[in-house]
Amino acid sequence: MLNAVFRRIGSSLLLVGAVSLLAGCGPSAPTEGGAVSAQPAQVYRWKLITTWPKNLPGLGTAPERLADKLRVMSNGRLDIKVFGADELVGAFEVFDAVAQGTAEMGHGAAYYWRGKIPVAAMFSTVPFGMNAQEMNGWLHYGGGLELWQELYEPFGLVPLACGNSGVQMAGWFNKEINSLADLQGLKMRIPGLGGEVLKRAGGVPVSMPGSDVFTALQTGVIDATEWVGPYNDLALALHTAAKYYYYPGWHEPGPTLEAIVNKEAWESLPQDLQTMIEVATRAINDDMLSEFTARNNAALRTLIDEHGVELRKLPEDVIAELKKAADAVVAETAQEDELSQRIYDSYMGFLKDVRAYHEISETAYVNVR
C-alpha cells in the first residue's frame, strides 16, 4: 500500500520537474497542429537604426513602439533594440547600413535617399501631392507598395510604410516672406523634392538631420527650416530660434515614413514573424498620424499663446510660383528610367482619381461643416 503511494508521489514529482524544465527553456514554437513543441523557439535579436534623435516625440518614439509591439506579439521571439541617429550610424547612413547588414532594420524617410535613387522621394512625399490618407490608399490598394519594393529590391531592402505626420507646416523663418523676392538666396533646411522646388524659386536648399536643425537656425547657418509641425517643432524648441511660423506645408502634404528591412534578414524569418512585422508597421503607420492629429493643435496654441510665435500664411503669388516649379521638378523625376516612369504614372494617376472624388467628399465636407 505504502509502496503504491510512494510510486504515485514519485510520478507526480517527475511530471512537475519536466514541466519546470520546459518552462525554463523560454518560449516554445507552436507546431502545425497547434500543439506546443518541446524545442525552445529561436530568438531573433535585431538592431533598428533611425534617422531621428532618440525618443523624439512622434518620429523617434514610433520605432520604439514598433519594437515593443513586435516583442509582445512574437512572445519574445523577435527582440529589437532601437538606436537613434548617430548612436550606431549617422542619420543619413541608415539606408546603406541596413543594405549592408550593419543593422537588420531602419526607420526614416525615402526622400533622404534622393541622391542615390531620385524617384524614391515619391514614396515619402510630393510637393502639392497626396495627403496621408491618399498616400495610404495608393501604397496599400493602388499598387504603390509593390513598386516601392521593386525599387528597393536591387539594394537588398524590403520597404514598408511606418508612419505619417499628416500635412506639415511650411516652416520657421527669421524674416517675413511677403513676395517671391524674399525667397531669393534664402538658405533653408528642406529635403527631398521640396528642396529642389525651393532652388528653382531662387532659394538655397540645405540638407541636414533633425539633430542639427536648431543650432543651424539659431547661429544663422540657415535662414529658415521646415521640420514637421507644432508637436515636433515645439519639442525641438524651434520657436526660440525663429520668429515667424508659416503655413501651409506645400512641400510635405502627406509624408510617409518607412521601415526598411535587410532582405536576407527578412527571408531568415519564419512566415508568422514576417506577418507580424507587416501588421505592426501598418499599426504604427496609423498610430503616428493619429498622434500628430491629436497633439498638433494643443502644441500650436502653446507656441502662439505662451511663446508669442507669429503664425503667417504664405502669399498666394509665392504659392503659385512654388506650384509651377513643383510640377516641373516632379515630372523630371520620371525621366530617370523605365521604373521611374512607371512610379510617376502610378502616383499621378492615383492622385488624379482620388482628387476628383475627394473634391465631392472630404473637401466638400470640410468646407461646409
DSSP 75-111: TTSEEEEEE-TTTSS-GGGHHHHHHHTSSSEEEE-GG
Phi, psi of 104 (to 5 degrees): -80, -20
Of residues 124, 240, 111, the one with CA closest to residue 172 = 240
In 3-state terms the chain splits into helix, strand, coil percentages (rounded to 5) of: 55, 15, 30
Residue 175 to residue 186: CA distance in whole angstroms:
10
Length of the chain: 369
Q: Are 238 and 155 in contact (CB under 8 A)?
A: no
Does the pTM surpass 0.85? The reply is yes
Inter-residue contact 323 to 193 (CB < 8 Å) = no
Cell numbers for 344:
510617376
Cα(363)–Cα(202) distance, integer angstroms: 32
Half-sphere exposure of 311 (CA within 13 A, CB side): 14
Count of CB atoms situated within 10 Å of the CB of 7: 10
Mean pLDDT over each residue of the chain, to the nearest integer: 91
Domain 43-165+255-293 has CATH 3.40.190.170: yes
Q: Is 275 helix (H, G, I), strand (E, B) or coil?
A: helix
Helix (H) or strand (E) holding 72: helix 61-73
Adjacent-strand bridge partners of 48 = 82, 105
Q: Residue 39's pLDDT is what?
A: 65
Residue 15, pLDDT > 70, answer no
Residue listed under C-alpha cell 537588420: 104
Over residues 105-128, the mean pLDDT reads: 97
Q: Quick: pLDDT tens for 318-330.
A: 999 999 999 999 9
Q: Write the CATH number of the domain with boundaries 171-252+306-368.
A: 3.40.190.10
pLDDT tens for each residue of 262-320: 999 999 999 999 999 999 999 999 999 999 999 999 999 999 999 999 999 999 999 99
pLDDT-derived band at 20, boundaries 50, 70, 90: very low
Q: Give me the residue spans of the domains in the chain.
A: 43-165+255-293, 171-252+306-368
Report the alpha-carbon distance of residue 197 to residue 185 in Å, rounded: 13
